[in-house]
């Protein structure tokens, strides 16, 4: 570890080599402080009643950020202010040779202006609109100005997909990737890509902080992570929120003119969002747990496999993963390979990559793949789309996995329901509304 690796970071003493700690006495401060009947964690800013977190030795610990290493009242944190100690760039770091459509250019120009205007901004764009590419000009400008940038997302899968794209687009700098499953070593970088949980390790570090999929779990409605995001940015900085399905809270801020917004209702390839087909099948779960698929479901999946099209099958509960996989495998045959994936799956990252590289043909998944992943030529099916597991926003995001590439800008999205519940109707309404606005944009 180098001294520069501490710039803008908040680390526990055991995360720093002993020889370096000797030089950093002035950078140390208590990991927890007492406030009356509460104890406050100085890493995640949580305040917890003392009686809930007392240790046998009379000290305290923080349960809220324990996944990043246990913080106790006898521990110390270390922090060095961010000096933006980056060598000046003689040439543009952006090597991307692509182009933007006129409506993308407009949003890109707004984001570029935001770099010089401290504040918060929302880029509200449909799934597959090219949000990442629309950020390139703003990122290029910030890098040339010597600013430190972070692209954060609540989802590991989003970070893993974003990292190679950013590396390929910005060959003039070396980004760092941070999440709990990453094997890449940390290095001080002008451009950080990380999960929102990793923002707990930063303090007043970033001049530009972009949060992709801001409405996704676990960031949405999580006060600890929201506080971490605010603390990770400098006092005079730019915060950009990206999403296709903004929360009611974000929309309220837009309506009250507290949050500037750029809206884009059309995908980069100028095709509209695929509209889901809804099939009513009241006994689907009973049949699947019995080892068979409903006839209509089986016909669809068999047709997809015969066309050699990759697909995702979403289920509302983890317990349905294996029965569904077995029922699907019986229909598509042994030559069409698939497996299951869920959030705590230790092989999750490898399985997603296997589908992307055509080593697998399909995945049976929970909502963990509802957003942030792209697979060419994909079809999607949601079993139990009317169940509470799938919010309207989740269904819109799931439908948005389809038709994202120029080669096959359309595809099949199928919702299997016991009854057409409110969440399904709301999702269909949102997709129709975005397509209406997209058509208006196309027609000038």
What pLDDT sits at residue 180? Answer: 86
Cα distances (Å, whole numbers) of residue 414 to 17, 281, 315, 326, 330: 53, 12, 12, 20, 20
What's the pLDDT tens digit per position in 210-262? 999 999 889 988 999 999 999 999 999 999 999 999 988 999 999 999 999 98
pLDDT at 259: 93
Which of 80, 113, 145 finishes a domain? 80
Question: For the residues 61-69, what does the mean pLDDT come to?
Answer: 93
Instruction: Name the residue among 398, 421, 422, 425 with its Cα closest to residue 411.
Output: 398
**Whether residue 124 is found in the same domain as residue 218:** yes
Task: Please say if the pLDDT value at position 56 is more than 90.
Answer: yes
Q: Please determine, for residue 412, whether its predicted confidence score (pLDDT) is greater than 90.
A: yes
Q: Are residues 251 and 283 in the same domain?
A: no
Q: Which residue pairs from 69-73 have beta carbons closer than 8 angstroms and sit at least 24 positions apart in sequence?
A: 69/12, 69/14, 69/15, 71/12, 71/31, 71/32, 71/41, 71/42, 71/43, 71/44, 72/31, 72/32, 73/30, 73/31, 73/32, 73/34, 73/39
Give the number of domains in the chain: 3
Q: Is residue 122 part of a domain?
A: yes
Residue that is last in its domain, among 264, 292, 321: 264
User: Is the residue at 96 inside a domain?
Assistant: no
| Parallel, antiparallel or unpaired: strands 362-365 and 338-341 | parallel
Are residues 162 and 110 in contact, defined by beta-carbon separation less than 8 angstroms?
no
Question: pLDDT-derived band of residue 352, with 50, 70 and 90 as boundaries?
Answer: very high
Cβ neighbours for 56, distance < 8 A, ≥ 6 positions apart: none
- The confidence score (pLDDT) of residue 386 equals 96
Closest CA to 362 of 346, 381, 345: 381
Residue 13, in any domain of the structure: yes
Residue 159: pLDDT band (50, 70, 90) is very high
- Residues 394, 367 contacting (CB under 8 angstroms): yes
Residue closest to 423 by CA, chosen among 387, 392, 399: 392
Token couple for 129: 């609109």
User: Do 344 and 252 fall into the same domain?
Assistant: no
pTM summary value: 0.89
Its domain, for residue 249, covers 102-264
**What's the rounded mean pLDDT across residues 21-28?**
87
**Which pLDDT score is estimated for 183?**
84
Helices (H), 130-214: 131-144, 156-169
Q: Are residues 176 and 298 in the same domain?
A: no
Q: Tell how strand 338-341 and strand 311-314 pair up.
A: unpaired
Q: Out of 26, 48, 80, pick the residue that ends a domain.
A: 80
Summarised one tens digit per residue, pLDDT across range 297-328 is 999 999 999 999 999 999 999 999 999 999 99
């Amino acid at each position: 570890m180098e001294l520069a690796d501490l710039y803008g970071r908040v680390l526990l003493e055991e995360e720093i080599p002993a020889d370096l700690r000797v030089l950093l006495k002035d950078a140390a401060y208590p990991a927890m402080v007492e406030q009356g009947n509460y104890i406050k964690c100085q890493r995640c800013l949580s305040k917890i009643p003392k009686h809930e977190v007392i240790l046998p030795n009379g000290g305290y610990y923080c349960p809220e950020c324990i996944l990043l290493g246990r913080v106790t009242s006898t521990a110390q944190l270390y922090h060095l202010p961010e000096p933006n100690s980056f060598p000046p760039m003689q040439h543009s770091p952006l090597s991307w040779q692509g182009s933007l459509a006129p409506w993308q250019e407009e949003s890109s120009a707004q984001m570029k202006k935001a770099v010089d205007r401290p504040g918060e901004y929302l880029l509200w764009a449909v799934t597959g609109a090219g949000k990442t590419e629309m950020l390139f000009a703003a990122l290029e400008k910030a890098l040339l100005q010597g600013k430190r940038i972070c692209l954060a997302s609540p989802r590991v899968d989003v970070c893993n997909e974003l990292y190679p794209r950013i590396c390929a687009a910005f060959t003039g700098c070396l980004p760092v990737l941070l999440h709990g499953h990453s094997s890449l070593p940390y290095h001080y970088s002008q451009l950080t890509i990380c999960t929102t949980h990793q923002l707990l390790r930063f303090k007043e570090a970033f001049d530009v902080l972009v949060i992709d999929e801001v409405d996704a779990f676990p960031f949405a409605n999580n006060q600890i992570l929201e506080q971490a995001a605010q603390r990770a940015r400098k006092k005079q900085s730019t915060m950009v929120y990206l999403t296709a399905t903004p929360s009611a809270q974000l929309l309220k801020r837009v309506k009250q003119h507290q949050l500037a917004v750029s809206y884009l209702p059309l995908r980069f390839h100028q095709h509209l969002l695929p509209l889901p087909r809804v099939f009513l099948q009241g006994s689907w779960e009973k049949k699947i747990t019995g080892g068979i698929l409903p006839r209509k479901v089986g016909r669809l999946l068999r047709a997809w496999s015969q066309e050699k099209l990759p697909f995702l099958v979403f289920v509302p509960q983890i317990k349905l993963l294996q029965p569904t996989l077995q029922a699907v495998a019986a229909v598509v045959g042994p030559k069409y390979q698939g497996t299951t994936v869920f959030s705590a799956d230790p092989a999750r990252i490898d399985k997603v990559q296997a589908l992307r590289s055509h080593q697998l043909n399909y995945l049976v998944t929970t909502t963990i793949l509802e957003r942030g992943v792209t697979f060419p030529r994909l079809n999607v099916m949601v079993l139990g789309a009317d169940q509470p597991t799938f919010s309207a926003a989740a269904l819109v995001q799931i439908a948005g996995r389809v038709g994202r590439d120029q080669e096959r800008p359309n595809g099949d999205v199928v919702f299997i329901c016991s009854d057409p519940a409110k969440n399904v109707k709301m999702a269909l309404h949102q997709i129709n509304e975005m397509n209406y606005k997209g058509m208006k944009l196309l027609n000038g």
